């Protein structure tokens, strides 16, 4: 190998470290519990960058605006820095900034309240606590 090829290899390696896959990034900053959940959300077009749906293999760059559709609301986040692995909850603020509009947060709160009301009317699937109580009552 000559010196030119070594330099290009080093520059490729440096360029690669400046980007991270979107599914890995969303999992690393704790927006999703697992990386596969983040990938599934990408497949269903619920993850957007620059208001366009992205595949899970899409590379994230510093400064990108990531939008996540949750039920009726769209949550927005700005990428501050990239990371190699999952970080603890207190450190997340160093890597991502929540820029969600207050109106979107309010829409999500209204949706959650509607779901709570629906559940209180004895409709829907029993909660884990309900199932435990029922099992204890039945002697299971």
pLDDT band at 118 (very low <50, low <70, confident <90, very high): low
Spatial distance between the Cα atoms of 29 and 27, rounded to a whole number of angstroms: 6
Could you tell me the two tokens for 48? 């957007």
The highest-level CATH class for domain 3-100 is alpha beta
Name residue 79's beta-bridge partners: 96
**What percent of the chain is predicted at pLDDT more than 90?**
60
The domain ranges of the chain are 3-100, 101-140
Task: Supply angle C-alpha 54, 56, 62, rounded to 5.
Answer: 75
pLDDT per position as a tens digit, 50-89: 999 999 999 999 999 999 999 889 999 999 999 989 999 9
> 60 has which bridge partners?
20
Nearest to 82 by CA among 15, 32, 37, 11: 15
pLDDT tens-digit profile of 90-107? 999 999 999 999 999 999
Nearest to 77 by CA among 104, 96, 91, 58: 96
Contact in structure between 79 and 22 (CB atoms under 8 Å): no
Cα separation of 105 and 98, whole Å? 11
């Amino acid at each position: 190998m000559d010196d030119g090829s070594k330099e290009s290899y080093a520059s490729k390696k440096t360029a690669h470290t400046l980007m991270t896959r979107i599914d890995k990034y969303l999992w690393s900053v704790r927006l999703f519990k697992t990386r596969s959940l983040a990938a599934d959300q990408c497949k269903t077009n619920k993850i957007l960058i620059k208001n366009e749906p992205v595949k899970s293999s899409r590379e994230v760059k510093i400064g990108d605006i990531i939008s996540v559709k949750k039920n009726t609301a769209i949550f927005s986040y700005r990428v501050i820095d990239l990371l190699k692995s999952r970080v603890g909850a207190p450190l997340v603020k160093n890597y991502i900034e929540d820029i969600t509009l207050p109106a979107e947060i309010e829409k999500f709160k209204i949706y959650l309240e509607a779901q709570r009301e629906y559940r209180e009317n004895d409709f829907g699937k029993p909660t884990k606590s309900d199932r435990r109580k029922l099992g204890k009552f039945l002697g299971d």
